[in-house]
Structure 1
Amino acid sequence: MTTPVHTRMLILGSGPAGLSAAIYGARAGLKPIVVQGMQPGGQLTITTDVENYPGFRDVIQGPWLMEEMQAQAEHVGTTMIWDQIVDIDLSHRPFRLTGDGGATYIADTLVICTGAQAKWLGVEGEERLGGKGVSACATCDGFFYRGKKVVVIGGGNTAVEEALYLTNHSPDVTLIHRRDSLRSERILQDRLFSHPNVSVLWNKAVERFVGGGDPEGLVGVDLIDTLTGQKSHVPTDGAFVAIGHHPSTELFRDKLLLDDGYIVVEKGTAKTGIPGVFAAGDVTDKVYRQAVTAAGMGCMAALDVERFLAEADYEAAQAAE
């Protein structure tokens, strides 16, 4: 691709936010282009069972859902491009972006839907048992552990909130923290310590996730004491890693206003601080991070884009007269 590609609406990211924005943008006649990024389809492509996305009475598969979203977006007029943006100029409209293969994109409007990635421990068994007992989202997967024993790894607000949420499903929740005190808000700690179904293991780090059975699934976690080095084993049916998220915003540092790495948007909209640049989904959302909320934000972004372009076209016409 040597000739610059011009589009009225360029979308970065192909998860629920990006594809929802594409569907609405295409239906508005904007002929959007979606640059899919390093993980086409977003985090749902590495999720197996999905039971909380509206419209499906039975469990569906994450990759299948994203394939259907992409097919719908293409059906109504979206162009999908497999590329990764490595440079971006937001100093003036139209915006200029460069892909890692040298392709140039000229965009009248830009919608950033690059998402956020869960932080992982990087220990043995974590990747292999992902979706087979190891998860990074209690809201997404807690339902599958009704009546079972689960553990949560972490010590901040996210970990405590996930542990408390899991008590809705599990009678036995253990919080594992590598220090002797939590970093979460005091009110959350008070709720955690007073809950009869929650116990805490202090000064313990996960050394390994242990699999077993046929088909293989998580059966326990091997721990190591951070003070004494003593090793121990905790049997469990599910383990939730809750040590935070990385919003994929490295490209936008010093270009857009960020809050703890997340892109700041005007309340109730998808508008960033730069006219014509919009953001939606997990890249702006440090609270909910659900597929359905990301999809809703993608819709908001597309509607904001449509209004922005209509106003820009009107102003240009008035100026020409």
Structure 2
Amino acid sequence: MTGDTPVLGPDGRTADGSVVADGLRITGRERRPVFGSAFLVSAAALVVGGGIVAGAFAVSWGLFLEAGRTAEGSIANEESYVAYIDQWDALVKVAFGVYPLLGLVAVVLIAWLLTAQAVTVAHVRERANGPDGAALTLRALGRRTRPHVGAAFRIQLLTLACALVPALAGLLVLAVVAMEKVPGVVWPTYHDPATVQFVLVGRILPVAIWALGLVLLYRFLPATAVRVADNCSATAAMRRSWTLTRTTRLRTTGICLSGSVAVTLAFMVLKWFGTYVAHWAGLLMLATTGDNVWVTGVLVIITPVAVALVLLPSVLAPMGVLLACLRERLDAGGRGARTRSGSTTA
């Protein structure tokens, strides 16, 4: 950012170039704490998340077996059938119990991972500007991260709550349009193509609302790094993040959007890799359940996503470094602006 106060790089020299370049430079130099913390998060996700999913299958086991017996009986009698017709409500109840637990685990792990990366960047700056040249071990990283995790968790919850408002608002617009509650807007059919009113209200308006939600989310993303740097409360960190990004909305949105695209592409690649895991998991489940395709089908559907989510922290960790560098650059720019303003006034 032109005119910003210089920020020292990991080697003690002025960090030239973009925030992304600075983040990649730190990620490369501090591979052990960055990817070591990502490995710990992946292991925790595998153990805790896998345990929750395994518990859900255990609770639903009888339902899946009953669905298989019902379907096989209908097929043998040459009768039509609907999958899970008598078990669907109970399976939905189990799912509604599992999803919040998995979401809570994800929020906790993301909070810890982003905090760990902010601590890593802070350690790099301290080592560049001080006599302490010791490397950051995983044990030291965990010790320095622990005091911030509670506030970081609250930051993630508050950010998620703020992002859900426009997300639900966009869905509400779609629902209202689908129910034909908007005068002059009719859902298109095969014989009635989409009208201009429908395109504006049923397509462009929800996308615009969701885009505003993304901008809102991106303005709060540096809050965890703010907490680590300022040791403030969760709400104070979010207010500070909002203030820092006020005059750099486009810059912040561009950097965060680029990181989001990279994470999304990585997720798609990891999900594709997970299909191979799902194949062997499906064969194992078939052998275990006596060719019960009902439970096997559910396992094959969720396995690629589960594999991608477990491996995703290795991509989210550099994103955390990037956010910490962004916070640092925005803070330095704010101090530089205040300094120049004070000099002009004097």
Between Structure 1 and Structure 2, the one with more helix by share is 2
Higher relative contact order (CA closer than 8 Å, sequence separation 6+): 2
Between Structure 1 and Structure 2, the one with more strand by share is 1
